[in-house]
């Protein structure tokens, strides 16, 4: 993978699950999302990583995908972390997690990991807001950050994602459809990324070509909200055990903000309790992990 910006400054340093990273360009990305609701980052993945991603997704996920009615020209595959290991490094990429933390101003977790493949003839998706899955009246704090990585080139002809700039601030309006609102289509090369606030009005475009248009959609939400995809049931426990700790955390195996906060298991970090829990167990037994008691809520470092 290649970082789009080579300027290494401490201004872009951030803690991601206890590790310190310098993320070149982070401040600019967050400013764009704050002001316009979205950011486009070319060359998020290099050509070789993009090629491997495309080939792996087609080989490992295609047999499990379902083609959606009524046109049956938009193909989706949900729960990717249970179906392939080829996206693990993308989901727990520190650049991406730093951006999600910066947008949401708090702990984050992956809410959904989805493959989208627009086949020839796919119709435009109605504009919508992905944070509407939580029935909370607006205005509210940001709940969600969306990311789409172009596995294949995005063009207006093949259904590039449509966004309504600055609509993430239209808290007093219901989503309207074109031509009532003007959209921009995000044309970008394969390997590029577009990220936006979960309140942004958006939708896939129409594919008028004879080629497919594949994309990887990664959504991150606040760690104290329920995820769109149930990662605890959806991803088998034996697969969780194979994952690096940062990905396990992103999946949702995080401790609470405080001793009794959301995510804890018997006042302990859930990762250290994965193989300790059985019906009727004694949380005070010998060999149990120490209590994970913190007197104050723990938050990601803020610059």
pLDDT value of position 8 = 42
Pick the CATH number of 10-250 from 3.30.1360.200, 1.10.10.60, 1.10.3720.10, 2.60.120.620: 2.60.120.620
Q: Is the dihedral of CA 38, 40, 250, 105 positive or negative?
A: negative
pTM, two decimal places: 0.89
For the chain, the residue count is: 303
Closest by alpha carbon to 47, among 222, 178, 190, 165?
A: 190
Report the SS3 class of residue 245: helix
Buried b vs exposed e over 99-114: b needs ≥16 C-beta within 10 Å? bbbbbbebbbbbbbbb
How far are the Cα atoms of 13, 53, 103, 178 from residue 302, in angstroms, in the given order?
Answer: 10, 33, 11, 39
Q: Tokens for 86?
A: 């080829």
List the chain pLDDT tens, one digit each, 303 residues. 444 443 344 568 999 998 999 999 999 999 999 999 999 999 999 999 999 999 999 999 865 666 777 778 888 899 999 999 999 999 999 999 999 999 999 999 999 999 999 999 999 999 999 999 999 999 999 999 999 999 999 999 999 999 999 999 999 999 999 999 999 999 999 999 999 999 999 999 999 999 999 999 999 999 999 999 999 999 999 999 999 999 999 999 987 677 677 888 888 888 889 889 999 999 989 989 888 665 444 444 443
**CA distance linking residue 192 with residue 154, whole number of Å:** 9
Helices and strands in the chain: count of H runs, count of E runs: 7, 12
**CA distance linking residue 258 with residue 279, whole number of Å:** 25
To which residue do tokens 């405080």 refer? 258
DSSP string for 90-145: HHT-HHHHHHHHHHHTS-EEEEEEEEEEE-TTPPPPPPB-GGGGS--PSS----EE
pLDDT digits over 134-150, tens only?
999 999 999 999 999 99
292, 271 contact by CB (below 8 A): no
pLDDT value of position 10 = 58
pLDDT value of position 6 = 35
Question: Where are any strands of DSSP class E within the chain?
Answer: 13-16, 19-22, 38-41, 66-68, 74-77, 108-118, 144-150, 162-163, 184-185, 193-197, 202-203, 213-222
pLDDT value of position 186 = 98
**CA distance linking residue 150 with residue 163, whole number of Å:** 15
Extents of the domains making up the chain:
10-250
């Amino acid at each position: 993978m290649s970082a789009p910006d080579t300027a290494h400054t401490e201004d872009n340093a951030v803690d991601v699950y206890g590790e310190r990273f310098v993320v070149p360009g982070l401040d600019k990305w967050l400013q764009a999302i704050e002001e316009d609701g979205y950011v486009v980052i070319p060359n998020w993945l290099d050509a070789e990583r993009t090629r491997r991603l495309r080939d792996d997704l087609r080989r490992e996920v295609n047999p499990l995908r379902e083609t959606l009615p009524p046109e049956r020209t938009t193909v989706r595959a949900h729960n990717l972390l249970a179906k392939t290991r080829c996206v693990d490094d993308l989901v727990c990429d520190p650049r991406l997690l730093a951006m999600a933390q910066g947008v949401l101003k708090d702990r984050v977790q992956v809410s959904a990991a989805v493959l989208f493949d627009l086949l020839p003839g796919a119709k435009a998706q109605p504009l919508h807001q992905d944070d509407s899955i939580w029935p909370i009246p607006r205005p509210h704090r940001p709940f969600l950050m969306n990311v789409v990585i172009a596995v294949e080139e995005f063009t207006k002809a093949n259904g590039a994602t449509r966004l309504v700039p600055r609509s993430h601030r239209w808290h007093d309006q219901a989503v309207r459809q074109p031509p009532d609102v003007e959209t921009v289509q995000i044309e970008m090369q394969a390997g590029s990324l577009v990220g936006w606030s979960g309140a942004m009005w958006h939708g896939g475009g129409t594919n008028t070509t004879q080629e497919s248009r594949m994309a990887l959609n990664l959504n991150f939400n606040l760690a104290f909200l329920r995820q769109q995809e149930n990662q605890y049931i959806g991803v088998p426990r034996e697969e969780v055990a194979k994952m690096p700790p940062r990905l396990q955390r992103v999946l949702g195996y995080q401790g609470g903000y405080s001793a009794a906060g959301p995510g804890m298991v018997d006042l302990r970090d859930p990762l250290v309790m994965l193989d300790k829990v059985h019906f009727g167990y004694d949380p005070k037994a010998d060999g149990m992990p120490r209590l994970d008691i913190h007197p104050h809520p723990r938050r990601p470092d803020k610059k």
